[in-house]
Amino acid sequence: MISLTVNHQRHEVDVPDEMPLLWVLRDEIGLKSPSEKWLSDISRL
């Protein structure tokens, strides 16, 4: 289980460690239309 804060909302998700962040945002949290470019920008933080 991991905890994420997205757009000032906390989310608890139970996903495999190898699941890409983009899939977690789209499929588990329901974020609409995160793009691959956006993901590459935030993964550098």
How do residues 30-40 score in pLDDT, each as one tens digit? 887 656 556 55
**Residue 6 near residue 25 (C-beta atoms within 8 A):** yes
In angstroms, the CA 24 to CA 20 distance is: 7
Cross-strand bridge partners of residue 10: 5
pLDDT at 22: 83
Tell me the per-residue pLDDT of 1-40, one tens digit each, with 9 for 90 and over. Answer: 989 888 888 999 999 989 988 888 888 988 876 565 565 5
Sign of torsion over alpha carbons 8, 41, 43, 40: positive
In angstroms, the CA 19 to CA 8 distance is: 22
pTM above 0.75, yes or no: no
Amino acid at 42: I
